[in-house]
Amino acid sequence: MDLVAHHAAGAAVAAAPDSPHSDNNSGGGGGFTTAITGAATSSSPSPAVASPSRYESQKRRDWNTFGQYLRNHRPPLSLARCSGAHVLEFLRYLDQFGKTKVHAAACPFFGHPSPPAPCPCPLRQAWGSLDALVGRLRAAYEENGGRPENNPFGARAVRLYLREVREHQSRARGVSYEKKKRKKQPTTGVAGAIAGVGHDDVNGGGFHHQPPPGAAA
């Protein structure tokens, strides 16, 4: 992932301090909760606090970075006034920190998946990175009180932009972003289905945790 790390290092947008919406949702109880907690922990050990998952940590960093971008915008933008057009500005802004070579149509390596020599074509954010970023920010927007119907990260213009980036990079890089369809294995009744689930579990397959809808590409 070459988005937030290089965005924070190469731009004037440093990592923003934790916002009251991102990390402190559980800390709104104030002194009353603290007093009760202190009394309880005086006689019993405090339970271990589970660390956030990698996905949640990345989502929080992305949200803080986008908030910093809005504050540095000229003129500054509030989240309530943020639209799909501002999301597009943010995505295009991040291109300067990309690491993916996207060949121009006039480049002799256009459509070549493994160019044999360097070329002056620009580096851009990979489509997969942008798609995953938009998914995380879309989820973070609603988790921080935004209304789904007003979510700028789900705007039609943003979806069309991501589709154009995918198609352009697929042609320019000579790679395919189409998802491979899994072949369905025939099962014989309930017993076969149960056996199949058990086999997957033993080999690390089966059901896997998935991010919230629209959070990852």
3-state secondary structure of 203: coil
In angstroms, the CA 110 to CA 159 distance is 25
* Domain count across the chain: 1
Pair 112, 103: CB distance under 8 Å: yes
Section 175-185 average pLDDT:
67
Is residue 212, in this structure, part of any structural domain at all?
no
Decide if pLDDT at 33 tops 80.
Answer: no
| Higher local confidence (pLDDT), 12 or 212 | 212
Of 54-58, 89-93, 198-202, minimum mean pLDDT range? 198-202
Is residue 151, in this structure, part of any structural domain at all?
yes
Is residue 189, in this structure, part of any structural domain at all?
no
Is residue 158, in this structure, part of any structural domain at all?
yes
pTM of the predicted structure, to 2 decimals: 0.60
Q: 153 burial class (0-12, 13-18, 19+ CB within 10 angstroms)?
A: buried
Per-residue model confidence (pLDDT) at position 67: 93
Q: What tokens were used for 97?
A: 């920190």
| Higher local confidence (pLDDT), 58 or 33 | 58
Is residue 198, in this structure, part of any structural domain at all?
no
Per-residue model confidence (pLDDT) at position 51: 83
Section 134-148 average pLDDT:
95
Bridge partners (DSSP) of residue 101 are 123
Closest CA relative to residue 80, chosen from 157, 155, 150: 150
Residue-wise pLDDT tens digits, 57-99: 999 999 999 999 999 998 888 888 999 999 999 999 999 999 9
Is residue 47, in this structure, part of any structural domain at all?
no
In angstroms, the CA 119 to CA 3 distance is 23
Q: What DSSP character marks residue 74?
A: S
Section 52-58 average pLDDT:
93
Is residue 153, in this structure, part of any structural domain at all?
yes
Is residue 23, in this structure, part of any structural domain at all?
no
Per the structure, the complete domain to which residue 70 belongs is given by 54-173
In angstroms, the CA 166 to CA 174 distance is 11
Closest CA relative to residue 164, chosen from 216, 127, 129: 127
3-state secondary structure of 153: helix
